[in-house]
Structure 1
Amino acid sequence: MTYATVYDIANDSVGLQFPLIGLGLILIGAVMKWGFGKSGWSSYPIIVIGVFTILASGAVPWWDYRRVTQAVARGEAKQVEGPIHDWRMARARGKRRSTGATFYSHYERFSVGDVDFDVNWGALEAGFANRGSTEEKPTVRLANGIPARIWYLPIDGPGKPPRITRIDLGTVGWADEVQQDDAGIAFRLAQGHIADEAKLLPDDRKMAIGLLIYTFEQNSGHRLVVVTTPSLGGTDIARFAAEIADRRGMKGNGILLLVAPNERQARIAVGRDLTARLPDAAAQAILDRAVLPRFRRGDVPGGIEAGVERIIARVAGPETP
């Protein structure tokens, strides 16, 4: 099994956004007090809030990050390997004691082997927290059945979920096979999700896009394939895409995103069973609004990923009349 690292605490860091806000509050309070001669009643609370913000969002997370990374350096991290199972999303409701306002915490829960993991997306502690995630678009997308190798630390005591310090995910079905038709047009007929014959995608983006497609296929049962080609060989892109779809057996329940960078063209071919969910006009709109603008800015991997995301959102979402 070939794995790709999608998270490693060694490459993580404590965010500076909130500590900088705290420093800014301290400076504002200091200017109010000593620059404009304001009373302490108006300036000191701002300074106190700034100090608390620095301690709560800077010093404490830094201390936590240091103790976790030192435990990793001492070789205390454990490892578990196997397919992800029992994956689920959870949302817990709570109330703030100070204001009584309701808030929600989002959790991602899953197991690998006999180890259960519980990831709090809003956590500030060290270790994988799916930072920047939303329920619709997590930073790292996990799903049942994905092969995983995870290093973790049971550092918070009995009854607490372990901290994840590294995640490797298995590449699913990316063994490619090159074939050629009678006219001399080269087709890369991968059995998996991505055939990057034009070499447009770095490994990390290929991994991210592949996981998007894998999750979509597992949840919907529909097929989605990305193919890039260095040349259309003088063939119209619509015919080229139709030939690939036919060779892959995708004309019924499949979607193909074809990119030909040298000809500056892209095409979305949709199987007949999915045309109600993704008609030609909607497919062209995805290309015009999400894919091609990024291509023109030189962000070809970003355009391909955006196209895949829009296709999935359209097909997996409520059916549009």
Structure 2
Amino acid sequence: MTLNLLSCKGTAQETEIKKTTTEIDVSEVTESVFPEPIGIINDYGQVFTEPQRAELSKLLYDYDIETTRQIVVITVDSITPYTNIQKYATDLAQTWGVGTAEKNNGLALVLCKPCRRISIATGTGTELVLTDEICTKVIDEKIVPEFKNGDFYTGIKNGVITLIEKWN
């Protein structure tokens, strides 16, 4: 099963240092590069409180049940051996099989708080509605401003709600 994903990324930093990056073929990477999925909220970076995880889980599970579209939120402390969070998010979502294979209707929102990076990876079916431009705008206008205030949960929640509104 192959889930074709497109992605967009945002950054919480004002400037970005250009570095030479090496692309990684996910088929050659051991599965241990990615954490095991534990649900619709995968807070490996321990960004959310338990009540925040529960609230966000309910929102995303309800949306999945209502529409069969799957949004998964992942927080991590590192994207190593990757250097590009967009590629990391896309490969992680493909490895996990986010969304349904028939509709390619998955979306993975990946936050690496220590890296100060966030990315949205979308399936090709999702990309028909949630374009890279829309995802970038959501990151820049809904998520990053809250991050700059130190409120990661509100940023993610606002971003998810906006993505759901635009996807309907």
TM over 0.5: yes
Alignment of 1:1-321 (within 5 A): 182=30, 185=33, 187-235=34-82, 236-250=84-98, 252-316=104-168
Whether the aligned pair in 1 keeps the contact of 2:106 and 2:122 (CA below 8 Å) is yes
* In structure 1, distance between residues paired with 2:152 and 2:94: 26
* In structure 2, distance between residues paired with 1:250 and 1:203: 23
Q: TM-score, normalised by structure 2?
A: 0.75
Summarize deviations over 1:249-294 as a string: whole Å, max 9, x none. 1372200000011110100111001111100000000000000111
- Alpha-carbon distance, 1:182 to partner: 3.1
Whether the aligned pair in 1 keeps the contact of 2:72 and 2:98 (CA below 8 Å) is no
Structure 1 residues without counterparts, runs of 5 or longer: 1-180, 317-321
Structure 2 residues without counterparts, runs of 5 or longer: 1-28
Higher CA-based Rg: 1
Give the structure with the larger helix fraction.
Answer: 2
Runs of 4+ in 1 over 4 A off after TM superposition: none
Higher RCO by CA contacts (8 Å cutoff, separation 6 or greater): 2
- Alpha-carbon distance, 1:191 to partner: 4.4
Give the aligned length. Answer: 135
Q: What CA RMSD, in Å, does the superposition of the two structures yield over aligned residues? A: 1.6
* In structure 1, distance between residues paired with 2:126 and 2:165: 13
Summarize deviations over 1:176-231 as a string: whole Å, max 9, x none. xxxxx53963x223242010000000011111111110111111111110000001
Q: TM-score, normalised by structure 1?
A: 0.40
* In structure 2, distance between residues paired with 1:290 and 1:228: 17
* In structure 2, distance between residues paired with 1:260 and 1:191: 17
1:278 is aligned with what amino acid? L
Secondary structure of the 1:227 match is strand
State the percentage of identical aligned residues: 24
Whether the aligned pair in 1 keeps the contact of 2:106 and 2:126 (CA below 8 Å) is yes
